[in-house]
Chains A and B, each alone.
Chain A
C-alpha cells in the first residue's frame, strides 16, 4: 500500500542558531534559542506551539520530555528522535503526519548540540553498545575510522578516487564562501584538499567534518494556518525513511534509499531530473555518493562518473550542498541532520541571499545517520517544493 500524500502541510521558518567551534553553554541553551527564533520568525506566542520534535546528542540525561519543562511548553505531540543525520527528515515526516491527523497544529522541529573539549570524545566512547564493545577499543578512531573502511571498500568497488571526493569538498567550499553561516569559508583548491594530512586513510583532514555547537529548526503546520499567519512555506512532495536496510551486505556500499527510492519519486510525482538542487548528508563524501546512487540520480556504482560530470556550485549543472554542507558549515551534532532540509527550505523560499539557486522549484534532501557498528542504520530522503 502506498503512503498517503503530505498535501496541505506547510514547512515554514527555517532558522539557525549560528554555529560556533566550542561553547560553554549546554545543548538546551542552543535548542531554547532556536525555539525563540522560530517563535519570532512566525510571530506567534510560545504557547501556540502544541507539537515538538527534538534531536540532540548532548542534551542527555534530558530528552525532549525534560526540555518541555525547561522551556515551559505543554505540547500535545512530542517526539524524541535520536536518529543523527536522518533526524531532520524524520522529524518533518512525523510532524507532517501529526498535523494532517490533527494531533498537533503547530509543530516546532529542532535539533542542536553543544561542543566542548570532552563532549565529542564522551559521545564516541559510549555511542552504542556494539560500538563501545567492538569498534571503539580498536584505536578509538570514532566515525573517521568507520567511514574510512566504507570509503576504502567503495573506492575499490567503484574506482572512486580521492579526487572524486575532493570535487565535492571543493565545490561545497565554494558554496560556503557565499554563506555567512558557514564556519569554514577560506578558499579551498583541489591541490590543498589532496595535500591535507591523513586522518584514517583513505580519509584525510578535509574529508572530515568539524564538530561544533549550534542548532537548526523549522515549523510544520497546516497550509491554511501558514496562510493565516502570512508565512511563506514549502511543500513536502514525498518523504521516506528506512532503518537497518540490507543487513546482509558485508560492507555498506548502499544505503536504505535504494529500497524506497521508487516510492519517493512516485509519491513526489516528479523524477530525479526535475530537481534544481540536491542536499546530501555529507559526512563523508562517500556517503554523498551513496545518496546520488541510492536516490536515482545515477546508477549504483556510478557515483564517481556522476561527480566527474557535474558542477555542484550554485550556478553549476546541479547545485549540491548549496550552503556548504557539513564539510564547510561544521557539524553541530544532531543539527547536521537538519542542515540539508533547512538549506533546501531557504532556497525554495527564495531567502538564500548570496547563494540563491536561480529558479529553484524542487529540491532533493537526503539524510543518513547512526553508525551503530560498521554502517549507518538510518536513511531518509524528502522531495520539497516551492509553494
Chain B
C-alpha cells in the first residue's frame, strides 16, 4: 500500500508530506491509500556511487523522478528497464527503503 497526502480544503495532493498544505496552508490534511500510484518517469539515473557504505552492495541502482498522475513528483527506485517517458505504477517497497536506512 502507498499513501498520498491530500488537502481537505483545496484538494491539492502533495509530496514529500508535511504538516500543512503547501498550496493553501491549511492544516486539514488526509491520507489517501492505494495499492499503487500511476505516474510517468520524468528523468532517470543509474547510480554507481553511494555516500552510505550500506548501500554499496546494491549498486548500480536505477533511480527516477516520477510525476504521479495526482500531481506531485517523487524520487523513486525504478526497475532497471524503465526509461524516461514511461508510464509506471509506484508501489511502496519497504524492504528497499529499510535497506537504505
Contacts and interface: CB of A to CB of B under 8 A. Distances in A.
Interface of A: 120-121, 124-125, 129-130, 133-135, 137-142, 144-145, 148-150, 152-153, 156, 197-203, 250-251, 373-374
B70 interface: no
Contacts, number: 101
Interface in B24-57: 42-52, 55
Interface of B: 15-17, 42-52, 55, 58-61, 63-65, 67, 73-77, 84, 97, 100-101
B63 A130 contact: no
A141 B74 contact: no
Contacts of A134: 15-16, 74-75
A145 B45 contact: yes
Given A153-B43, A153-B84, A198 B76 contact: no
Best-surrounded residue of B42, B43, B48 (most CB of chain A within 10 A): B43
Given A138-B77, A140-B100, A251 B48 contact: no
Best-surrounded residue of A124, A145, A199 (most CB of chain B within 10 A): A145
Given A137-B101, A149-B43, A374-B65, A142 B51 contact: yes
Nearest to A122: B51
A290 B97 CA distance: 33
Contacts of B76: 138
Contacts of A129: 16
Given A138-B100, A139-B61, A250 B44 contact: no
Given A137-B101, A140-B55, A374-B73, A130 B44 contact: no
